[in-house]
Chain A
Amino acid sequence: MFPVIKGASYVLVHTPDMVIHNGTTQTLERETNPDSEYLKVLRKHLRSYEDVVSYPVNQTYIGNFDPEELANLPRPWFEKKLENASRYGKFGEIMPEDEFYGLMKVCDVFDLVKLEKNFTLELKSKFENNKYLSELVSRLGEGNEIEEINKLVENGVAEGLYLNDNLVGCVKRAHEYDINLSAHVITENLAVKASGVLAALHIIEKANIKKEEIDYIVECSEEACGDMNQRGGGNFAKAIGEIAGFKNATGCDVRGFCAGPAHALLYAATLVQSGVFKNVLVVAGGATAKLGMNGRDHVKKGMPIMEDILGGFAILVSQNDGVNPVIRTDSVGKHSIGAGASPQAVIEAIVASPLEKLNLKFTDVDKYAPEMQNPEVTEPAGAGDVPTQNYKMIAALAVKKGQLDRSQINDFVKKHGYVGYAPTQGHVPSGVPIIGYAREKMLSGDMNRVMLVGKGSLFLARMTNLFDGLSYLIERNSGIVEDKKDAVTKEEVKKMVAEALRDFASHLLEE
């Protein structure tokens, strides 16, 4: 029995001050070129929370604006404000920076996050009136004096947390010498944890499941937590589960650059299909390092800095209920070590092979979901429209296989792929953003099949030059819960025993 996707949540966190203080493009620039023009004008290019909420692409990510509608909206999208835009969407929310600092405090179990007293009071009232956060309000504590926070930041033992350039808190280092427990790394990791917790809190409601029913958690963001003796020791999964209240779960972290979520979802699917666990949660938080990654290009082109948000998501994989979409674990495509690195070899391995396994044509898949980066972020930086490039490659392979005419490539691209609407947070765009909409459309009968394609640039870690890719199909549930073909009823067993006895008796008679 194939496992099903019981729900998906998607969250964004608006973090303009973290762009300045925690994004690597900016921190590196401050270190190497402190007087640069970019650093001087940076603040002017940051968007307000209202602008980030009304940005059509973000509304699509959290479930309020269908990707088909986004595709019909003329670009530039960043100049458009969506009417009736809302903080909350059917898949999740866009959290403002102040509340996120509160969530980081809530996620800190080692007293490393210090928030100013009055700021803490403000947060308390916001948390109390928020249905997702109210249970966590007591963890905010009473706050600290601003003098104490100032001193910690000035002495270099803590990273500052700012709102509109005003210091409101800090994150202390967790060790005097260990660089993996430095204030910078702890800030980065607490941001992963907090945004992962936010996605986890939303999935409970979206998938309509009780917290105690989660058996196992697979975390698949891009950071590593550990200390100097084991840099990536872990374990974000359990740390997130603890704050979210998943008392009956344990879990582990899975990494694979941008392909991480595709691997994680497959692990979850196999754990459920094998019967080891009933409900497995795949969750990922956001990467502060990537904030403002292409900021220089955005500023150069007179645009706002588009990478001012952290992304997160959670997907619940459960036993087949005959209703929710199934993960076809018999369709897995993989870019194996010996597959070759040319784009053609890659697409052959991860797109053509799952189709061939199930005897399907390229056009039998409603939508392909490869890397789904928002093109408005990548195009100004010279990386092009990544999802469209992927759809074109898939179409070109279909041409090479004789399944499509060359003149049909552009139509194929429009018909079989959504526009990109995911933040460029590495792991977040890689296939998984489609699951929310695809699940809905499969439940309503408007969609039959999508292919999730995870791709990863492993060379970045300098351990291998190999590329990575993993893919599989997600399909509408046929509604048949029990696999009759393999099931044997009590009556059938009786019949089989009787037949065997008759056979045995006839042998005896013959002798």
Chain B
Amino acid sequence: MADPVFRIADLKKSFGPTQVLGGVSLELHAGEVTVLMGANGAGKSTLVRIVSGVYDRDGGTITMDGKDFAPASPADAIRAGVVTVHQNINDGVVVALDVATNLTLDRLNGKGAKLFFNPRAVRRQAREVAARMGLDVDLNAEISDLSLADRQMVAIARAMAHEPKVLILDEPTSSLSSAEANRLFEVVDRLRERGVAILYISHRMSDIRRLADRIVSLRDGRITGTFDTKPLDYEGAVNAMLGRTMHRAEIAARDGAHTIFSAEGLRIAEHAKPFSLKLGDGEIVAITGLVGVGKTALAETLFGVRPPLGGTMMLNGKAYAPGSTADAITAGVFLVAKDRAESGIIKDFNLYENLSLPFLDRISRLSVVPRRTERAVARDAISDLKIVCRSERDDMATLSGGNQQKVMVARWMSQDANLFILDEPFQGVDIAARRDIANKLRASAEGRATLVFVTELDEALETADRILVMSEHTIVGEHRNAEVDIDRLLAEIAGQPLKGAA
């Protein structure tokens, strides 16, 4: 095999007393996609930040084409031919400008940049960049009018305008639908053919199966496995990443006892077909479906964020029509909202203050918040859900993604629910934390109905007793989680009309 383009050897990095990378060695070859897998907190982000020139390394060597590579800044790394597309898509584009200007933005700075801005030249250069990448986006469009996927295409095209030898993609599909992800994969294929060495960071198995030429597993700051013989050993890679054998947890599908929640003729979007829904005591129901099919809309309807366009809801035999989130909470309907950073965590609050937030009125006496009670509740949650932290007074920012999510779940489990809804509770959560949360949900399911919205089918299969499929803002399928007909399930998710269906 040819010499690697990019070689990392014995890379070390510590933050204070915590060693994040303990001697990582990694090679990237031209025209290959190397997938880096690692649980949250394994050191993936730190590795990317060192290579892209954000952090300095403590030890080890990085060479590119046999020469030492030590970028002093992100701009330096780009000049040297290492380009990174970060997880947060909006970091890669300037929202206030149009597509053409974004594609040529990097030419506005640095040596040789002209004093005056020539719109015609910008358009010409942008057309060149877009043509080279096969970018199919209106160059005059404002970035703010584009979808996330299109923004990401622009960001990648912009990165590729530097003709990099090494391209790093950090969880690029985390906010894309599968159709959008397919477009991304095509672009990655094209870049691979052009001989770019690609480091692709992800823990989505579907991405990895589609793209990987090689898989490298990272755990606790060390490489625990490299897999490059075809066919790739995916299970081995997951195993190396987790340090234990992963097998699908056996779910003993339970049937719900008496109905706790029911909805009749519910309509959550214009032109959507009305649907019915029944949730029983003690059962966990997962609703799965692609991004954008109305899962969050349904979750928010049940939680009183928005009214349904039609239909009625019943909770414990009484009519349920929440006018606000406060109404829903009073009725015992709780929601762990999607995207904890944006809609869950109060970052100025510490762990126990975050935990007690929705139930301040219930635990307060004469409106005074009893801190002792708050802290006791938080300590219980920490041991109950195995939250890794120093104490209940920790800042949320010091916790890993999985532990932050555990706090969000614990927040809503500190009081008894009638209907407990979790919207994408496993997003950005490592597998160990995901197990802890799912086990806790199953263990405590008695006495309430539990509804989990997930895009990843595996998560539904691992958690639920019953799986419902959503497509085009309505429910199109139902499966008991025992001998699931996966083909039918996938067809329903993909929105294909089934034979005999109206």
Q: Are A and B part of the same complex?
A: no
Please report B residues at the A interface, Cβ cutoff 8 Å: none
Please report A residues at the B interface, Cβ cutoff 8 Å: none
